[in-house]
Amino acid sequence: MVSRVIPVEDFDLVIFGGTGDLARRKILPGLFRRYHSGQMPPGARIIGAARAAIDRKGYQKEVAAALEEFVPKGARSAETVKGFLESLDYVTIDATGDGGWKKLAGMLRANVVHAFYFSVAPSLFGALAERLHEHGCAGPSCRIVVEKPFGRDLESAQALNRTLRDHFDESQIYRIDHYLGKETVQNLMAVRFSNVLFEPLWNAQYIDHVQITVAETVGVDGRGAYYDKSGAMRDMVQNHLMQLLCLTAMEPPSRFDPDAVRDEKLKVIRALEPVDPEDIVRGQYTHPDKGMSYLEQVDDPDSITESYIAMKLAISNWRWAGVPFYLRTGKRLKARYSEIAIVFKDAPHSIFGQAQGRHRNVLTIRLQPNEGMDLFVTIKEPGPGGMRLVDVPLDMTFADALGPEVEDVPDAYERLIMDVIRGNQTLFMRGDEVEAAWTWTDPLIKGWTGRGDRPYLYESGSTGPEEAAMLLHSEGRRWREIRP
Ligand code: BG6
């Protein structure tokens, strides 16, 4: 396959929190990969800004160590690592005081894209925005990138939005949800909106239900303090799963442009019905034999925060009336496995008789691992024995179908950071979208917190609490397997 790397414009990217965990694990390795592929223009510069009193050399050393740890050997060469380190600079900065700002302002070049990545606690967003303005760094064409968590409820999200909008226009604010940068998630839009095959069937007339699963094997390891204040609902559902739901359920936008896409996603969130507490199952992992239990890891024996959640949602519009969307996500599950499964209805009449059992078409979009799609179709089982039916997948594993280059699928961050430089907000959340998601989420969290509902326990390495199975069983459906 021919490489289709299109270089972006020249830029200065400042990473506030440039020595932090996210910068080391994701942002800098992502930028490096773009450099390695030839997409970063030769003059582009990345300026780490953090409290640490180190100089450029010290920063280059830290970044070199991060690349060694987080970029596989085959994806780097001594030459590209050297070139990338040359593009780095560093400034010691005091986010709430004056230290370092003059120096930073002096480092920025005229006539190139300026982007500021706020990879810091949200409590510092306001201070950073103010300082950037005071020091003349924030021109009308600069961009800021902010990470989740974007608030912890509607009120805090609105406050954050106000703070940012005091200093920047919405068109300058890039709220990252890294799920939108995943290759398969973008593919969901390509599949839906460029194939005539699916869209006519994409509605309540043909679809029985939808399942969205994001299963993880990791626990809250090392992040207990943050996670215990969030839980799976805030950490995963309000943002990542909500985005997957929106892309699955939205109407076709008129164009693939930022506001057309985000307008349609917003309509889906606003059409979500309140969820009956009976339709939510929350869980907490346990089992001391397989590592620490959730309660031990967060060091609070009374915590009622969930590390797993499953729920049944309804979207009240013509397209989805009566079609349940089942969502589930959890930590320390059997396998790292994420997919969206569209389960179609039974054929209206079976000419082969009841003895053949139930056969349904299912379209699955696999996010990870092994990115790709499957369309299960029913065929005759080959061989003698009469007309026996069997469901087989038409498997499209992207790496098999599109060649070896696809095995090196860009990480979500690579794609999204390059979109910031390109000035394309399509894959970023707009302020009203985030607020709408919290408007729907808040009453659910308040409900179980107010009632003091304790999550069900599930064993580490299992598929989650058994009670979650009942969400579907009681309706004659079942969860798809979480496969290793
Ligand atoms: C993050 C959550 O946003 O997404 C983590 O805070 C979670 O708890 C992670 O593990 C999952 O991302 P991915 O890309 O590994 O599926």
Do strands 143-146 and 308-313 pair parallel, antiparallel, or not at all (unpaired)? Answer: unpaired
Residues in the chain, total:
484
Q: What angle do CA 363, 369, 372 make, to 5 degrees?
A: 35
Number of domains in the chain: 2
- Has 240 been annotated as catalytic? yes
Report how far ligand 1's centroid is from the alpha carbon of 125 (Å): 22
Of 156, 186, 181, 230, the residue nearest 27 (C-alpha): 181
Mutate to test the pocket of ligand 1, among 25, 212, 240 (most ligand atoms within 8 A of CB): 240
Q: Is residue 288 part of a domain?
A: yes
Cα distances (angstroms) measured from residue 83 to each of 34, 76, 410: 12, 11, 20
Per-residue pLDDT averaged across 233-251, rounded? 97
When pLDDT is averaged across residues 374-387 and rounded to a whole number, the result is 85
First CA to last CA distance, the chain: 30
Residues with CB under 6 A from ligand 1: 148, 178, 216, 235
CATH of the domain at 450: 3.30.360.10
Ligand 1 binding pocket mutation candidate from 146, 216, 223 (most atoms within 8 A of CB): 216
Task: Evaluate whether residue 172 is within a structural domain.
Answer: no
pLDDT of residue 475: 83
Q: Which pLDDT tens digit goes with each residue over 169-178?
A: 999 999 999 9
Out of 34-43, 249-258, 389-398, 436-445, which region has the weakest mean confidence (pLDDT)?
389-398
Pair (201, 107) in one structural domain: no
Atom 9, ligand 1: which residue's CA is nearest?
A: 236
Give residue 267 CA to ligand 1 midpoint distance, Å.
Answer: 25
Provide the CA 431 distance to its chain's centre, in angstroms.
17
Long-range contacts of 448-453 (CB under 8 A, 24+ apart): 448/277, 448/280, 448/282, 448/304, 449/304, 451/277, 452/304, 453/277, 453/282, 453/304
- Residue where a domain terminates, one of 106, 126, 147: 147
Sign of CA dihedral 426, 427, 431, 433: positive
Among 384, 417, 430, 478, residue whose Cα is nearest residue 11: 417
Which domain covers residue 209, as residue numbers? 180-410+428-473
Residue nearest to atom 15 of ligand 1 (CA): 216
Distance 219 CA to ligand 1 centre (A): 11
Least confident of 61-65, 318-322, 350-354, 420-424: 350-354
* pLDDT single digits (tens) 410-419: 788 999 999 9
Residue of minimum CA distance from atom 8 in ligand 1: 235
Give the H/E segment covering residue 243.
Answer: helix 242-249
Task: List the one residue out of 26, 118, 11 whose CA is nearest residue 67.
Answer: 26
User: What's the rounded mean pLDDT across residues 31-54?
Assistant: 94
Task: In whole angstroms, give the CA distance from residue 355 to residue 222.
Answer: 53
Residue nearest atom 13 of ligand 1, based on CA coordinates? 179
Q: How far is the CA of 388 from the centre of ligand 1 (A)?
A: 42
Residue 96, classed as helix, strand or coil, is: coil
Q: Are both 200 and 336 inside the same structural domain? A: yes
Q: pLDDT tens digits, residue range 323-337?
A: 999 999 999 999 999
Residue 348 lies in a domain: yes
Look at residue 308 and tell me if it is in a domain. Answer: yes
DSSP 3-state assignment of 199? helix
Which of the listed residues 235, 239, 328 should we mutate to test ligand 1's pocket, taking the one with most ligand atoms within 8 A of CB?
235
Tell me if 157 is assigned to some domain: no
Residues of the chain with pLDDT > 70, as a percent, come to 95
Q: Are residues 193 and 132 in the same domain?
A: no
Overall average pLDDT of the 339-359 stretch: 85
Domain membership flag for residue 159: no
Q: Which of 129, 147, 165 is the last residue of a domain?
A: 147
C-alpha span between 362 and 377 (Å, rounded): 7
Model pLDDT, residue 27: 95
> What's the pLDDT score for residue 288?
65
CB 174, CB 145: distance < 8 Å: yes
The number of the ligand 1 atom at minimal distance from the alpha carbon of 223 is 8
* 84-125: pLDDT as tens digits: 999 999 999 999 998 999 999 999 999 999 999 999 988 899
Is pLDDT above 90 for 278?
Answer: yes
28, part of any domain = yes
Q: In terms of domains, do 265 and 372 share one?
A: yes
Query: Measured in angstroms, how far is the CA atom of residue 129 from the centroid of ligand 1?
Result: 27
User: In this predicted structure, which of 144-148, 268-272, 285-289, 312-316 has the lowest mean pLDDT?
Assistant: 285-289
Cα of 220 vs centre of ligand 1, distance in Å, is 10
Question: Measured in angstroms, how far is the CA atom of residue 234 from the centroid of ligand 1?
Answer: 12
Confidence band, pLDDT 50/70/90 cuts, at residue 2? very low
pLDDT of residue 179: 93
CA distances from 367 to 97, 190, 412 (A): 43, 14, 11
Q: Report how far ligand 1's centroid is from the alpha carbon of 2 (Å).
A: 32
Q: Is the pLDDT of residue 81 over 80?
A: yes
Query: Which of 170-184, 188-202, 379-393 is least confident?
Result: 379-393
Q: Report the atom number in ligand 1 closest to the C-alpha of 216.
A: 10
Whether the predicted pLDDT of 1 surpasses 50: no
- Answer with the residue of higher pLDDT: 269 or 2: 269
The beta-strand segments (E) located in 58-206 are 88-92, 113-118, 143-146, 173-175
For ligand 1, the distance from its centroid to the CA atom of residue 177, given in whole angstroms, is 10
d(CA 413, CA 428): 12
Give the confidence band of 424 by pLDDT, cuts at 50, 70, 90.
Answer: very high
Q: Which atom of ligand 1 is nearest to the CA of 368?
A: 16
**pLDDT computed for residue 406 by the predictor:** 54
| Per-residue model confidence as pLDDT tens digits over 294-304 | 999 998 999 99
Question: Which atom from ligand 1 is nearest to the alpha carbon of 148?
Answer: 3
Buried b (16+ CB within 10 A) or exposed e, 111-146: ebbbbbbbbbebeebbebbbbbeebebbeeebbbbb
CA 92 to each of CA 105, 106, 135, 139, 338: distance values in angstroms, whole numbers, following the listed order: 13, 13, 15, 22, 40
Q: Report which ligand 1 atom has the smallest distance to the Cα of 214.
A: 16
**Separation of alpha carbons 353 and 140, rounded Å:** 67
Q: What is the pLDDT of residues 13-30, one digit of tens each?
A: 999 999 999 999 999 999
CATH number of residue 33's parent domain: 3.40.50.720
pLDDT category of residue 361 using cuts at 50, 70 and 90: very high
Q: How far apart are CA 444 and CA 277, in angstroms?
A: 8
Q: Which residue among 178, 240, 349, 473 is the active-site one?
A: 240
What pTM, to 2 d.p., does this model score?
0.93
Does residue 137 share a domain with residue 37? yes
Mutate to test the pocket of ligand 1, among 150, 236, 409 (most ligand atoms within 8 A of CB): 236
Are 307 and 388 within one domain?
yes
Reduced to 3 states, what is the DSSP secondary structure of residue 97?
Answer: coil
Secondary structure (3-state) at 352? coil
How confident is the prediction for the chain on average, in pLDDT?
A: 92
Nearest-CA residue for atom 6 of ligand 1: 235
Q: Ligand 1: which atom is nearest the Cα of residue 218? A: 10
Number of Cα atoms under 13 Å in the Cβ half of residue 65 = 7
pLDDT confidence of residue 42: 87
Which residue type, as a one-letter code, is found at position 6? Answer: I
Q: Which atom of ligand 1 is nearest to the CA of 338?
A: 16
